[in-house]
């Protein structure tokens, strides 16, 4: 069995968005909006790329996902943010991701976006951040990560996420970049875990679908550990295990695994719409 590698991931096609907006002044503080041809109001996905929190992995490879979801009727906000190596030291990465999501408030009317049932989707490190976006309402007002105007997230599809940060540190599976973006060497590290790890923000109070390849040996134990805690906390959470898949197959839109991902996203959207109505 030959699995896709990080090098294969970096060779995914680069697709142009319909619009690009800066949510801050820095070179990494922007997002790309992919729009559907379908009429308004448009359901919204916030898409967060992964890459082990490292500078060399940017948002370009997941543009293929953004366009695929736009073709299914979603407006997709593919966000960039600072990471280890380009200014993402704690709390900057989280401030960027939060500000990027909240920027949708400013462009919703222009593009007739329906913000009532936003889904966050992220891969790998981006899965951590997609879950974190869904849990921001549980962050204390005294935290530097608190946002009074945080975009509400209605549900999450986490693709091979690093979901439990504390577990990653305990098992030495997070890497140096995670230590940088979490500020592990700072004296306030325990507070960082409380505010920035989805596992510490439970219950998120949002439905979550976690999709992981059964060959993804580093991520799968982390997700299982997180899901045990999420279910114990009362969260509606599901694991979809894809046989024969590794870390990158689930974000390759031309791979068979993508159909399982798409089915999960569409199903979650239908469930959210039913709850809203």
**Tens-place pLDDT, residues 144-165:** 999 999 999 999 999 999 999 9
* Alpha helix (H) residue ranges in the chain: 6-10, 63-70, 92-102, 104-111, 125-135, 165-170, 175-182, 189-196, 198-201, 219-232, 257-276
Q: Which of 150, 120, 159 has the alpha carbon at shortest distance from 241?
A: 159
Q: Does position 15 have pLDDT exceeding 80, yes or no?
A: yes
> Binning pLDDT at 50, 70 and 90, where does residue 80 land?
very high
How far apart CA 54 and CA 44 sit, in angstroms, is 26
- Mean pLDDT, to the nearest integer, of 52-59? 97
Please give the structure tokens belonging to residue 93: 């990465």
Domain spans of the chain? 6-276
* Domain 6-276: which CATH number of 3.40.50.300, 3.40.50.10470, 3.40.50.1820, 3.40.980.10: 3.40.50.1820
pLDDT tens readout for residues 186-233: 999 999 999 999 999 999 999 999 999 999 999 999 999 999 999 999
pTM for the full model? Answer: 0.97
277 pLDDT more than 90 = no
Q: Note the pLDDT of residue 201.
A: 97
CA distance 206 to 141: 20
Q: Which residues contact 252 (CB under 8 A, 6 or more apart)?
A: 4, 8, 9, 12, 64, 258
């Amino acid at each position: 069995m030959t699995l896709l590698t990080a090098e294969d991931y970096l060779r995914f096609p680069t697709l142009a968005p319909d619009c690009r907006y800066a949510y801050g002044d820095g070179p990494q503080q922007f997002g790309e909006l992919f729009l559907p041809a379908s009429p308004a109001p448009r359901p919204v996905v916030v898409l967060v790329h992964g890459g082990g929190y490292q500078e060399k992995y940017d948002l370009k490879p997941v543009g293929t996902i953004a366009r695929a979801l736009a073709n299914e009727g979603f407006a997709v906000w593919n966000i960039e943010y600072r990471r280890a190596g380009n200014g993402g030291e704690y709390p900057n990465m989280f401030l960027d991701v939060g500000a990027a999501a909240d920027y949708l408030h400013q462009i919703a009317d222009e593009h007739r976006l329906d913000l009532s049932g936003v889904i966050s989707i992220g891969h790998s490190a981006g899965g951590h951040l997609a879950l974190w976006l869904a849990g921001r309402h549980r962050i204390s007002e005294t935290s530097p990560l608190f946002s009074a105007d945080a975009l509400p997230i209605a549900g999450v599809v986490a693709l091979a996420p690093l979901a439990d940060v504390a577990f990653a540190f305990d098992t030495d599976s997070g890497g140096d970049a995670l230590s940088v973006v979490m500020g592990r060497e700072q004296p306030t590290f325990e507070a960082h875990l409380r505010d920035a790890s989805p596992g510490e923000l439970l219950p998120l109070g949002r439905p979550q679908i976690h999709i992981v390849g059964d060959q993804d040996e580093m991520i799968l134990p982390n997700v299982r550990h997180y899901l045990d805690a999420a279910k114990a906390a009362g969260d509606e959470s599901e694991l979809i295990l894809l046989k024969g898949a590794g870390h990158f197959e689930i974000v390759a839109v031309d791979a068979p695994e993508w159909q399982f991902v798409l089915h999960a996203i569409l199903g979650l959207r239908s469930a959210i719409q039913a709850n809203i109505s």
